Structure 1
Amino acid sequence: MAATATKHEASDAHPRYPRTFSPLDLGFTRLKNRILMGSMHTGLEDIEGGFERMAAFFSARARGGVGMIITGGIAPNHEGGGGAKLSTPEEAARHSIVTKAVHATDPEVKIIMQILHAGALANTPDCVAPSAIRSRIGRFIPNELDSEGIEKQLADFTNCAMQAKAAGYDGVEIIGSAGYLLSTFLVEKTNQRDDEWGGNFENRMRFPVETVRRTRAAVGDDFILIFRIPAMDMLEEGMSGDEVIQLAKAIEAAGANIISTHFTWHEAQVPTIATMVPRAAFAEVTGRIRKHVSVPMITSNRINMPEVAEEVLAAGHSDLVSMARPMLADADLVNKAFEGREDEINTCIACNQACLDHTFSGKLTSCLVNPRACHETLLEAKPAKVARNLAVVGAGPAGLAFAVEAAERGHQVTIYDAASEIGGQFNLAKRVPGKEEFHETLRYFARMIDKLDISLKLNTRADAEMLAAGGYDEVIIATGIRPRVPDLAGIDHPKAIGYIDAIVGRKPIGRRVAIMGAGGIGFDVATLITHAGPSAAMDIPTFCREWGVDFANHPRGGVSGVKKHINQADREVFLLQRRDSKPGRSLGRTTGWTHRLSLARRGVQVLGGVTYLKIDDAGLHTLIGDEPRLFDVDTVIICAGQEPERTLYDALLARGISAQLIGGAHEAVELDAKRAIAEATELALAL
């Protein structure tokens, strides 16, 4: 039965988001709105006491207004993951802790468990696949399934779904994308069978279709069954657009209530969730598939604000919008949108530093802009027993995060900063093409400063005498860093400029450039000075050219080859580092490769093992190994690290004034907003 939207009288429709806040009738049940929290593996599934913490985590999102929640992926058997699984009543009992908590918070919210069989990507030598072909990113060569093995996997999927129903879930989502088991049956590259499970596409799609058919038969009609379809693989040997539509029709016929679209395999070399990706870039692909099925469809990827969700729904691209990471950033996103408080949303900036980077490194998931995510039971904000008068010196990420958390608890807070605007290092980051979302974090902090009546004193360089006279109970030093100036002959030569001058444009940059330092700042500078024209993050056609995506024609996998960088600046750039190791090693695990690949395509030469000798009229003199090399450049940009700025802190201690260091002022090994905001949040909650 096709789902329908409940009709509203004009007076009932939300004035700004009429589609977002319209219910969706599935026949046997109803979703209260069109926003769901998409699947995110948190790591809580695998730790002692994790289900109690998951209960608090998901309950916070239910309280925040979402219509449906999809959990992180749970394997149907050992060979499907090597970690969290659901196959026994005892395991189902643990899951019921989560479902009971969500339903107690809001009985209208549906909680769905994602069944994820990782196939060749499973972290176990017992992993299985249609053919014994190792993934480029997999640890093991998978064991090829025989007929008996296929029947076992099908039985395990249905058993997992039945256990999920027994645990109190409202449904399951079967993930059939991303290079996991079901998607490897669909693609010839990974399915080289010649039996009834391989060969032509009708045979190759038989396993996922049969999985849905048997699952539906096992759980009955009053249970939500979602299938996550590989809408665009981002692989040259992936599925064609026609095959995706054929699969969608077959999945609907097999019994799925909802089809969710997913984009890219993990091993593909096209970014889909990084901040350099335009908002809602892939929604149109979902819309094309939607024309061929009658069940509701979910779209996802880089939809991080309510107005984007409403635009997607209004365009007819989907029936539901998935926001996974945005719900990490702000559990109350949906309520804030409904109440007209969009400017108070702590927006996901798609940095991936505390969420996906943690997931793929075996750490607990959290969020750079909201460290309380997945730590709700450990970082609970309670009203302060005694309101204190606090001074915060520095309006960068650490100072802002501390000030907001402390003010929300009832403390009186004054922020001092010598600059004319808040933001600190974020004001540099937001200038880099692909990091425009950093503006959103500063908008959020500016709004919270106003809402919480925090006293903000910009253009004010606080000193020890001023702070002593202020009578503060505590002074928080968030003065950040100062760029390190290396002890190098010629460092004051006119060719040499600091990275701050380069980013803000205070000094001219020549056509031939050497960048000293290949950490995160070095990569940002290289990105900025090799860019011209619109940012790919702000323009879908530019993004498609840079990453070889063809949304219009949907060739196999959706990729057609990278086009010439028409937005490339006319510069020759050398990105250098002292360490004789892979440059960019400090970059995030899920986004670092995108930066390295993007700069390589722009012709940036990245070199390690460089010893700097001097800068003079001829350029930058170095040794690479034992071989002298002169870089005949017009400009040398210094990205040689940072040092904590503690001058004020030392002056306060000398006066006997209590002060605490946070952020870069505390530790400046590498600029790290994730650590700075987490550290500030923890201190504010501890006062």
Structure 2
Amino acid sequence: MSSVATAPVVPGSLRTVASPWTLGPLHLPNRVVMGSMHTGLEVHDDGGAGMAAFYRERAAGGAACIITGGIAVNDEARGGPDFAVFGVGGADERFRAAVQAVHDEGSTILAQLFHAGRYALAAGLVDRDGRPQRVVAPSALPWAAARGVVPTAMTADEVERTIEDFAEAARSARAIGFDGVEIMASEGYLINQFQSPLTNLRDDEWGGSPERRRRFTVAVVRAVRAAVPELAVTIRLSGADLMPGSSTDDDVDALVHDLLPLGLDGISVGIGWHESRTPTVQAAVPHGAWLAYAARIARVVRASAHPDVRVIASNRMTDLRDGEAVLQDGLLDAVALARPFLADPALVSRSVAGRFDLVNTCIGCNQACLDRSIVGQPVSCLVNPRAGREIAFPARPTTEPKRVDVVGGGPAGLAAAVDAARRGHTVTVWEATGRLGGQFDLAALVPGKEDYAATVRAARAELDQRGATIHLGRRATAADLADSDAVVVAAGVVPRAVDVPGADLPHVRSYEQALREGVPEGTVAIIGGGGIGVDTAAFLVESPDEERRAAEFGARWDLEVSDAVVGDVPQRLPAAARTLRPGHDVTVLRRSGKFGQGIGITSRWVAIGRLRDAGVHMVGGVQEYLRIEPGVLWIRDEHGEEQAVPADHVVVCAGQERALSDGHDATPWTGDEADGRPTDGLVPGLQDAGVPFAVVGGARDARSVDAVRATSEALEAVRRLAP
């Protein structure tokens, strides 16, 4: 398999991405598709207002074509309780509102027809007749997250009924007003299950050979195409399952050949199963890692008797300059981006205008989107906490402009400041250090997390554009804020010190010092194995060069990773200043709990796996850190024995504490409990002056803070104080 060959992209040029194209009967103004995302809005009892507002903003922001989250084709097709079924519980009314909103903005929308198969999490679910939801699949094979539920193997009659259910769902989509449908046949769901020898053990007309395993997909496409001959019909196909023993490249190519004569308008190329142990969507995955698979399928299509079927690339693209690089040679027709539209609904319009600096880039953290989706929680976005909550936090300008002061320029402070500035308030940001970003500024130094700097860059660009005042290197006082109408205290956190003999020795440093200044050669012991400790270890053993990491990623997973995308966020610590070391020189120590605790559930296993692959020592169950001496850290291990850990350098990653603190933690808080307790003299001063304020994020509670909570609290606070 060869990677996509492209010419260098002229900075600021999106000639190909911004060019018109057709997808079956649809005439689209640009080549950016908003890929399917399950949000939970599909089942909100609001008449579709929330879903309509969500899609409206993305359509207004330039998405040429929007694919809905998966819509189950029958009751047993639901992936969980927050999946909609046409004709059930007001679903048609909700989707009709969403379709109208997209059409009002001049865009188009396709309904994704979905069947979870054995991936259904049906515990406690009932069908429309009140019976427990069945879990069905080609064969009675469960998967790890099914909580012991073994699916029922579908009978031949049930297979035929399910094919008709796909067709009937397509008819419902047409009646509601959708412009087309996408058939979900990727990511390990039912149609993909029929294709794979791992999950299809049948020996009837629907299994037993590669040809028969492909019959279900062919039958579904044929039935859907016949049901809606005038609509656009696309399929989301698995370019590679990334499951040992599953379908081969030749199997996928043969399936493409079978499908092309059936009247498909487009093929969107997905990658991987949810149970695959190959990372696919995490921040550690190189940008554009999966483009080679879309390119291979495109070459199959172009060499066929149906070369005009559109091929859409997807996965791990965040910047439309990535899309330009991918599309320039004409092999691929469009790019589908999903999570980037959570981060910035105006992604397309800002990029086409050449304002890449304003684009709030998806950082690939998964914390508020995928991590929530798989447990049935409402989907949002860490860097855009309005996502999925557009009704609660409308974008309309304020009718009463106020002076809004934000204390702290980290992710929470920036979220509050940008939201207030967008709505017409006069905003001032007070940042005690010399740079914006806070913990994001540090995170951007970790290999694979460079995109965190883009969030800070976009916030700064927008605040500048909207006339906000930014004070760097200046700590706000109560006197500075005495005339403010609203103050959001988002001063954030600082590294916590440890009370261990020798902690004041010169070879001991905080994680902030380690990330900003580097760590000289020699062995390193990291005290603390939570998310920050894991990130610090990655900083020590992984290259800051994305091209090198992409090559290493491909070698590790036996993949050919495309080099067609562009990078836009350079590492601020020069590579020459980095001292990379072999993993066995680094030891991460933890008292209790999981290594990487605090990292999202879809990303933690990747982060820990990278360290294990590098040979990093991971020591859990530490009973006590005894003392630090030159060259060694003494601990009491899980067996109560004293052990010497080699440590030419010690990095402390033992948690965080509030940046503002002068002993007021014990002071009773008499204000709004939702706003937290006083953190230093600033807050009592604001109280005494009668200035409305709120304390959010790490400034409110450093013990359990994460960026999702911090940015969400900041948005809620600024809306409460300055509507």
Secondary structure, counterpart of 1:137 in structure 2: helix
The match for 2:185 is 176
> Is the Cα–Cα contact under 8 Å of residues 288 and 317 in structure 1 kept in the other structure?
no
Of 370-379 and 153-162, deviating more is 153-162
Aligned equivalents of 1:574 and 1:507: distance in 2? 14
- The residue identity in structure 1 corresponding to 2:552 is T
Secondary structure, counterpart of 2:161 in structure 1: helix
Question: How much has 1:570 moved relative to structure 2?
Answer: 5.2
Aligned equivalents of 1:441 and 1:18: distance in 2? 25
1:376-415 superposed matches below 5 A: 376-415=390-429
Aligned equivalents of 2:422 and 2:338: distance in 1? 25
The match for 2:545 is 534
Question: How much has 1:542 moved relative to structure 2?
Answer: 2.5
1:521 aligns with 2:532: yes
Secondary structure, counterpart of 1:442 in structure 2: helix
Q: 1:390 to 1:149 in 2, by over 3 A?
A: closer
> Is the Cα–Cα contact under 8 Å of residues 283 and 300 in structure 1 kept in the other structure?
yes
Aligned equivalents of 2:168 and 2:73: distance in 1? 8
Question: How much has 1:464 moved relative to structure 2?
Answer: 4.1
1:475-494 superposed matches below 5 A: 475-494=487-506
The match for 1:638 is 652
Aligned equivalents of 1:57 and 1:476: distance in 2? 26
1:346-425 superposed matches below 5 A: 346-425=360-439
Identity of aligned residues (%): 39
> Is the Cα–Cα contact under 8 Å of residues 268 and 313 in structure 2 kept in the other structure?
yes
The match for 1:86 is 85
The match for 1:113 is 111
1:321 aligns with 2:335: yes
> Is the Cα–Cα contact under 8 Å of residues 87 and 156 in structure 1 kept in the other structure?
no
- The residue identity in structure 2 corresponding to 1:43 is G
Question: How much has 1:145 moved relative to structure 2?
Answer: 1.4
> Is the Cα–Cα contact under 8 Å of residues 286 and 546 in structure 2 kept in the other structure?
no
Q: 1:408 to 1:525 in 2, by over 3 A?
A: same
TM-score, scaled to structure 1: 0.90
1:607 aligns with 2:616: no
> Is the Cα–Cα contact under 8 Å of residues 257 and 296 in structure 1 kept in the other structure?
yes
Question: How much has 1:671 moved relative to structure 2?
Answer: 4.7
The match for 1:274 is 282
- The residue identity in structure 2 corresponding to 1:651 is G
Q: 1:284 to 1:367 in 2, by over 3 A?
A: same
The match for 2:20 is 23
The match for 1:75 is 72
Q: 1:317 to 1:590 in 2, by over 3 A?
A: farther
1:142-291 superposed matches below 5 A: 142-219=151-228, 221-291=229-299
Q: 1:40 to 1:484 in 2, by over 3 A?
A: same
> Is the Cα–Cα contact under 8 Å of residues 496 and 654 in structure 2 kept in the other structure?
yes
- The residue identity in structure 1 corresponding to 2:393 is L
Aligned equivalents of 1:117 and 1:387: distance in 2? 48
1:42 aligns with 2:39: yes
Q: 1:300 to 1:502 in 2, by over 3 A?
A: same
Of 676-685 and 179-188, deviating more is 676-685
> Is the Cα–Cα contact under 8 Å of residues 23 and 266 in structure 2 kept in the other structure?
no
CA RMSD of aligned residues (A): 2.3
The match for 2:670 is none
The match for 1:6 is none
Secondary structure, counterpart of 2:680 in structure 1: helix
Q: Deviations over 1:512-538 (max 9, x none)?
A: x322212110110111112246346x7
The match for 1:651 is 681
Q: 1:615 to 1:74 in 2, by over 3 A?
A: same
Aligned equivalents of 2:376 and 2:586: distance in 1? 35
Unaligned runs of 5+ in 1: 1-13, 553-566
1:547 aligns with 2:527: no
The match for 2:577 is none
- The residue identity in structure 1 corresponding to 2:582 is A
Question: How much has 1:192 moved relative to structure 2?
Answer: 1.4
Q: Deviations over 1:183-234 (max 9, x none)?
A: 1111111111222211221111111111101111122x21111111110111
Question: How much has 1:597 moved relative to structure 2?
Answer: 1.2
Secondary structure, counterpart of 2:626 in structure 1: strand
Q: 1:608 to 1:114 in 2, by over 3 A?
A: same
Question: How much has 1:539 moved relative to structure 2?
Answer: 4.8
Q: 1:271 to 1:336 in 2, by over 3 A?
A: same
In structure 1, which of residues 436, 441, 444 is the aligned counterpart of residue 455 of structure 2?
A: 441
The match for 1:558 is none
Of 155-164 and 26-35, deviating more is 26-35
Aligned equivalents of 1:88 and 1:405: distance in 2? 38
> Is the Cα–Cα contact under 8 Å of residues 431 and 503 in structure 1 kept in the other structure?
yes
The match for 1:331 is 345
The match for 2:97 is 97
> Is the Cα–Cα contact under 8 Å of residues 583 and 611 in structure 2 kept in the other structure?
no
1:506-517 superposed matches below 5 A: 508=520, 510-511=522-523, 513-517=524-528
> Is the Cα–Cα contact under 8 Å of residues 283 and 449 in structure 2 kept in the other structure?
yes
Question: How much has 1:134 moved relative to structure 2?
Answer: 1.5
> Is the Cα–Cα contact under 8 Å of residues 366 and 373 in structure 1 kept in the other structure?
yes
Q: Deviations over 1:583-632 (max 9, x none)?
A: 22322011111011111111223333322242232733333344214132
The match for 1:684 is 718
In structure 2, which of residues 468, 491, 500 is the aligned counterpart of residue 454 of structure 1?
A: 468
Q: 1:400 to 1:145 in 2, by over 3 A?
A: same
Q: 1:549 to 1:592 in 2, by over 3 A?
A: same
> Is the Cα–Cα contact under 8 Å of residues 488 and 612 in structure 1 kept in the other structure?
no
The match for 2:694 is 660
Secondary structure, counterpart of 2:244 in structure 1: coil
The match for 2:669 is none
The match for 1:310 is 324
Q: Deviations over 1:390-445 (max 9, x none)?
A: 33222111222222222222222222223222111111101100101112112101
Aligned equivalents of 1:78 and 1:379: distance in 2? 33
The match for 2:8 is none
> Is the Cα–Cα contact under 8 Å of residues 285 and 551 in structure 1 kept in the other structure?
no
Secondary structure, counterpart of 2:405 in structure 1: strand
Aligned equivalents of 1:118 and 1:43: distance in 2? 15
How many positions carry a matched residue from both structures? 652
Q: Deviations over 1:303-341 (max 9, x none)?
A: 212211111110334211101111111111111123232
The match for 1:62 is 59
1:292 aligns with 2:326: no
1:489-500 superposed matches below 5 A: 489-500=501-512
Q: Deviations over 1:369-399 (max 9, x none)?
A: 1111111100113433433333322211122
> Is the Cα–Cα contact under 8 Å of residues 488 and 718 in structure 2 kept in the other structure?
no
Of 416-425 and 196-205, deviating more is 416-425
Aligned equivalents of 1:551 and 1:147: distance in 2? 40
Aligned equivalents of 2:52 and 2:84: distance in 1? 17
Q: 1:317 to 1:273 in 2, by over 3 A?
A: farther
The match for 2:610 is 598
The match for 2:569 is none
Of 333-342 and 254-263, deviating more is 333-342
Question: How much has 1:466 moved relative to structure 2?
Answer: 4.7
Q: Deviations over 1:117-147 (max 9, x none)?
A: 1111111262111111112333321111121
- The residue identity in structure 1 corresponding to 2:343 is A
Aligned equivalents of 2:605 and 2:613: distance in 1? 12
Secondary structure, counterpart of 1:292 in structure 2: helix
Question: How much has 1:112 moved relative to structure 2?
Answer: 0.6
Aligned equivalents of 2:326 and 2:616: distance in 1? 37
Unaligned runs of 5+ in 2: 1-10, 123-132, 302-306, 563-579, 663-678
> Is the Cα–Cα contact under 8 Å of residues 185 and 205 in structure 1 kept in the other structure?
yes
1:127 aligns with 2:148: no
> Is the Cα–Cα contact under 8 Å of residues 283 and 318 in structure 1 kept in the other structure?
no
Q: 1:619 to 1:35 in 2, by over 3 A?
A: same
- The residue identity in structure 1 corresponding to 2:505 is H
The match for 2:566 is none
